[in-house]
């Protein structure tokens, strides 16, 4: 049926048990079920969520042994009998949302990330740190053939998530959004989507490399270094023309502090959107200020199939250009080590052939 010869064995990065390490080894290639496709993953981004999965630091059980990864871009090489709307040879993306029931209240209204039966790639089912990955056909992202598979892979989680978060923020063209964790994977894409939506950007992160990338490459109008600033709240407010603060704040940092600070610098009537998932963290906001400023604080979790298609379309139109570095999949452990140290500017993308 397929012109692509599917091997019996493949390379994968496997978390065997709770020892916080990945093992690069050969494992069998799985066969797709009736409603599934098998995607030959060419490139896959490394999201900080994969590091949470490795460390097991979330209050959500992961599958073990586990193959992580949920920003996988590749080619469909096999499909189940029920799959009619995606062809062998099509380009497809395996996202965090590997599948959902499509029947519950949330699925019916396209809030499928909220589905209680959702399958999560690289967390509750095996993900994209392998050469051949299975996903539900209904949920794989359709990737146009003129889009490069390495550059699109970070869009499949980071891009979709921040695009959705910006929509949830309600910020309108010409308004200002503060992006907290701006130099990381989600943050760098958030700046590009924000620019494409006509928003002004205050980037918040730390270090000379991230500052340079934000101001010179990603289009931030201002940069606040949270390590060097003596008063982050005052500095963020000062970065808006009238000193009243940004209309929206996108929290994509992996640190509790900014989740307890954002409500203080957001503009009256502004919205704080929580996206990052630092382990064990709590939100905090002064009740008095939140009330008299009429502040909205909300969470935002990946995106649905339509958000995914829209985020990919922004990329296809040439509006999104964020730094990424390609290394072999065999080097995943060293990528995790760099990520743990906060050293990564933008995203690392794994080439599954190396």
Which of 44, 192, 206, 240 contacts ligand NAD by CB under 6 A? Answer: 206
- Please choose, out of 81-89, 179-187, 233-241, 286-294, the segment that lies near ligand NAD by the rule CB under 6 A: 179-187
Which of 54, 134, 143, 180 contacts ligand NAD by CB under 6 A? Answer: 180
Which of 15, 115, 232, 239 contacts Zn ion by CB under 5 A? Answer: 115
- Please choose, out of 22-30, 132-140, 276-284, 304-312, the segment that lies near ligand NAD by the rule CB under 6 A: 276-284
- Please choose, out of 25-33, 238-246, 270-278, 310-318, the segment that lies near ligand NAD by the rule CB under 6 A: 270-278
Asked if residue 12 binds ligand NAD (CB under 6 A), the reply is: no
Asked if residue 257 binds ligand NAD (CB under 6 A), the reply is: yes
CB atoms within 10 A of CB 36: 23
Nearer to Zn ion, 116 or 291 (CB): 116
Show contacts with ligand NAD in window 35-74 (CB under 6 A): 47-49, 52
Show the binding pattern over residues 156-175: x = contacts ligand NAD (CB under 6 A), - = does not: -x---x--------------
Q: Which does 115 bind (CB under 5 to 8 A by kind): Zn ion, ligand NAD, none?
A: Zn ion
Residues that bind Zn ion (CB under 5 A): 47, 49, 100-101, 104, 107, 115, 157
Could you list the residues that contact ligand NAD (CB under 6 A)?
A: 47-49, 52, 157, 161, 180-181, 183-187, 204-206, 226, 252-255, 257-258, 275-278, 300-302, 339, 342, 344
């Amino acid at each position: 049926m397929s012109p692509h010869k599917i091997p019996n064995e493949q390379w994968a990065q496997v978390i065997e048990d709770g020892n916080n390490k990945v093992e690069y080894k050969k494992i069998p290639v799985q066969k797709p079920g009736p409603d599934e496709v098998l995607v030959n993953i060419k490139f896959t981004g490394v999201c900080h969520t994969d590091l949470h999965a490795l460390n097991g630091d979330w209050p959500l059980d992961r599958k073990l042994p586990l193959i992580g990864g949920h920003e996988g871009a590749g080619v469909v090489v096999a499909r189940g009998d029920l799959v009619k709307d995606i062809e062998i040879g099509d380009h497809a993306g395996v996202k965090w949302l590997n599948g959902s029931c499509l029947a519950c209240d949330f699925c019916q209204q396209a809030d499928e990330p909220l589905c209680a039966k959702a399958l999560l790639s690289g967390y509750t089912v095996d993900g994209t740190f392998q050469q051949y990955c299975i996903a539900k056909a209904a949920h794989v992202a359709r990737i146009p053939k003129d889009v490069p598979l390495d550059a699109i892979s970070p869009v499949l989680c980071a891009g979709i998530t921040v695009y959705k978060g910006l929509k949830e923020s309600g910020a309108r063209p010409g308004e200002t959004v503060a992006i907290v964790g701006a130099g990381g994977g989600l943050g760098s894409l958030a700046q590009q989507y924000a620019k494409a939506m006509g928003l002004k950007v205050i980037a918040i992160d730390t270090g000379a490399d991230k500052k340079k990338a934000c101001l010179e490459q990603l289009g931030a109008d201002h940069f606040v270094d949270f390590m060097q600033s003596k008063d982050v709240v005052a500095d963020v407010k000062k970065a808006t023309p009238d000193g009243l603060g940004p209309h929206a704040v996108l929290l994509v940092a992996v640190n509790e502090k900014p989740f307890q600070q954002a409500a203080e610098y957001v503009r009256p009537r502004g919205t704080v959107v929580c996206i990052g998932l630092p382990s064990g963290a709590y939100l905090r906001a002064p009740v008095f200020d939140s009330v008299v400023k009429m502040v909205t604080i909300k969470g935002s979790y990946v995106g649905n199939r339509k958000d995914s298609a829209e985020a990919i379309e922004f990329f296809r139109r040439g509006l999104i250009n964020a730094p990424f570095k390609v290394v072999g999949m065999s080097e995943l452990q060293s990528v995790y080590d760099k990520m743990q140290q906060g050293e990564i500017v933008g995203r690392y993308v794994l080439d599954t052939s190396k």
